[in-house]
Amino acid sequence: MLRNLGLVLLSTLASLLMVEFAARLELIPLPDHVSTDAWWEERWQRKRRGMNPRAVIELDADLGYIPARELDDFEYQDVRISTNSAHMRGRREYPLQRGDAARVVAVGDSFTFGQCAGDDETFPFAMEQTLVDTEVLNLGVMGYGQGQALLRLRRDGFPYRPDAVVFGFHGTDMRRNLLSFRGYGKPRLRLEDGRLEVENVPVPSPEAYARWWPPRAWNFVRIFRASREDRAVVRGRINEVSLAIVHQMAVESRDRGALFAVVHLPHPRSLGGKGEHGWPFMEQVCAEATSAGGLCIEPVPRFREIASTPDEVDHHFACHFSPELYQALGEVIAEELARAMPERFALRN
């Protein structure tokens, strides 16, 4: 009996070692994308790089990473990007001490940062040009989850005492909220008894994952388990966390005297008119924002004017948004802010 048990254990260990060495030699193909830490960790092990090159980001123990400071016309994805000394997109510096100008803080992902757009083609830049005597601070970061946007708003945005907070909401960011690793380590917000709790802080560096332990074979076990999870259950968890983040942003902005505005960043499918807000889940997002006195801004009607045919949609969504869509988005947000808060915001003639 004991001998048979020993043989079983020995064969099991030998099998695990074979799988481990096969994984380390990359003889096991990486499955199609599975939204789990294990998949991203295995991807990083193979490529030894994050989603964004280290030349354009700096590691950050609170947020995972932020844009590198003082980039000067750095060429990336066929455009040139710049950042100021506070890790914001664009060269303009914004002192903590406020003047008489109105002030907006924009947070979000690559669409807010303005991926595939020049410094003067992002929607925060377009807002600044559309509004009279207004500063718009672009704190968007490529690859961010919505939880990271909330944490950056708290740490890097609120100290500038904005009159308004603009949060760019893109549906693909929602799954990122459940991850603690996505190309780089990141904080994760967990919903516990109705409260958002921050996990994985301080954030480990990517190199912390380049170790012998835990075994690479274990990554494939985790990937397999994640692929077998009930999608409806996972989707419910994703939705709950995302709505909680929007609600928390709205409440914290209101408590600091700032108007909160969640902005739908539409997928091209949204131009087909699914739901009142272009995407059915946005109705719940809007309800969370407005319940705390915020705004919900929908650019789909304006986008449809610019991209009215399938060929035009393909062109304007080829890489994030085209400069024309970014410009239109900035104008729509500026118009809504001026309508909601005329004592602080006014449109240029």
DSSP 296-330: EE--HHHHHHH--SHHHHHHHTSSS--HHHHHHHH
* Same-domain status, 169 and 206: yes
Residue range 71-99, pLDDT digits in tens: 999 999 889 999 999 999 999 999 999 99
Is residue 346 situated within a structural domain? no
Q: What's residue 224's pLDDT?
A: 86
Confidence of residue 12 (pLDDT cuts 50, 70, 90): low
* Same-domain status, 2 and 136: no
* Same-domain status, 18 and 113: no
Q: Per-residue pLDDT for 277 more than 60?
A: no
Confidence of residue 21 (pLDDT cuts 50, 70, 90): low
Number of structural domains the chain divides into: 2
Residue range 116-153, pLDDT digits in tens: 999 999 999 999 999 999 999 999 999 999 999 999 99
Residue range 207-246, pLDDT digits in tens: 776 665 557 778 888 888 888 888 899 999 999 999 999 9
Boundaries of domain holding 10: 1-30
The fraction of the chain above a pLDDT of 70, given in percent, is 89
Is residue 231 situated within a structural domain? yes
* Same-domain status, 2 and 110: no
* Same-domain status, 13 and 57: no
Least confident of 10-24, 263-277, 329-343: 10-24
Task: List the beta bridge partners of residue 90.
Answer: none
Q: What's residue 274's pLDDT?
A: 46
Q: Per-residue pLDDT for 154 more than 60?
A: yes
Between strands 164-169 and 102-107, the pairing is parallel
On whether the CB atoms of residues 50 and 206 are closer than 8 A, the answer is yes
277-282, long-range: CB < 8 A, 24+ apart: 279/171, 281/171, 281/239, 282/169
300-311 mean pLDDT: 92
First to last CA, the chain: 89
Q: What's residue 249's pLDDT?
A: 98
Confidence of residue 276 (pLDDT cuts 50, 70, 90): very low
Is residue 120 situated within a structural domain? yes
Nearest to 109 by CA among 77, 74, 65: 65
On whether the CB atoms of residues 126 and 331 are closer than 8 A, the answer is yes
Instruction: Give 347: exposed, middle or buried? Use CB within 10 Å, 0-12, 13-18, 19+.
Output: middle
* Same-domain status, 275 and 131: yes
Confidence of residue 275 (pLDDT cuts 50, 70, 90): very low
The fraction of the chain above a pLDDT of 90, given in percent, is 68
Q: 26: which DSSP letter?
A: T
Q: Can you give the C-alpha Rg of the chain in angstroms?
A: 22
* Same-domain status, 20 and 54: no
Mean pLDDT of the chain: 90
* Same-domain status, 62 and 109: yes
Q: What's residue 52's pLDDT?
A: 80
Is residue 345 situated within a structural domain? no
Nearest to 113 by CA among 182, 59, 160, 67: 67
Distance CA 294, CA 262 (A): 8
Q: What's residue 25's pLDDT?
A: 57
* Same-domain status, 44 and 9: no
Fill in the amino acid letter for 130.
Answer: T
What is the distance of C-alpha 216 from the center of its chain?
27
Residue range 27-84, pLDDT digits in tens: 677 777 788 998 888 888 887 767 788 889 999 999 999 999 999 999 998 899 999 9
